[in-house]
Amino acid sequence: MIALDEKQLNEIRAHGEADYPYECCGLLIGRFESDGRKTVIETYAISNAREEEAKRNRFLIRPEELMRGERYARERGLDVVGFYHSHPDHPARPSQYDLEHAWPTYSYIIVSVREGRAEDLFSWEMEADRSRFNSEEILEGK
Ligand SMILES: [Zn+2]
């Protein structure tokens, strides 16, 4: 389960709409709670490193950008708990590419953006054996 507030969910949707028809991506910065839950404290937008055409359906975060985000989180006593990205004109479910480039433990939030408007938003967690993603419940706080 991952907890976000409405402001963070709206930031993810707005980023997806702003970068349409390309994929947006960013980090989810917060805490791993002792009960296995994750709490997002803030979203951290980063640019999509892929070339124009590929940006439409796959995201890539450069290692230096991930490191910068991790440093930013650590300075605040927080962790990177997951990633978000958009699927322009595609459902908010992980692609095969997403599965091949994900790690267990993290949350992967995907927002579907249809014709420039954010629609479904789901969170996914990878099965420990990396065989598939499972849907993760989003707890929406205030
Ligand atoms: Zn994807």
Specify which residues 112 forms β-bridges with: 87
Pairwise CA distance, residues 66 & 128, whole Å: 22
For residue 22, the CA-to-ligand 1 centroid distance in Å is 11
Pairwise CA distance, residues 108 & 105, whole Å: 10
For residue 35, the CA-to-ligand 1 centroid distance in Å is 28
For residue 31, the CA-to-ligand 1 centroid distance in Å is 23
For residue 88, the CA-to-ligand 1 centroid distance in Å is 9
Q: What size, in residues, is the chain?
A: 142
Residue with tokens 């989810």: 28
| 3-state SS string for the chain | CEEEEHHHHHHHHHHHHHHCCCCCEEEEEEEECCCCCEEEEEEEEECCCCCCCHHHCCCCCCHHHHHHHHHHHHHCCCEEEEEEEEEECCCCCCCHHHHHCCCCCCEEEEEEEECCEEEEEEEEEECCCCCCEEEECEEEEC
The one-digit pLDDT tens for each residue of the chain (142 residues) are 999 999 999 999 999 999 999 889 999 999 999 998 999 999 999 876 666 656 555 667 778 888 999 999 999 999 999 999 999 999 999 999 899 888 899 999 999 999 999 999 999 999 999 999 999 999 998 6
**pTM for this predicted structure:** 0.92
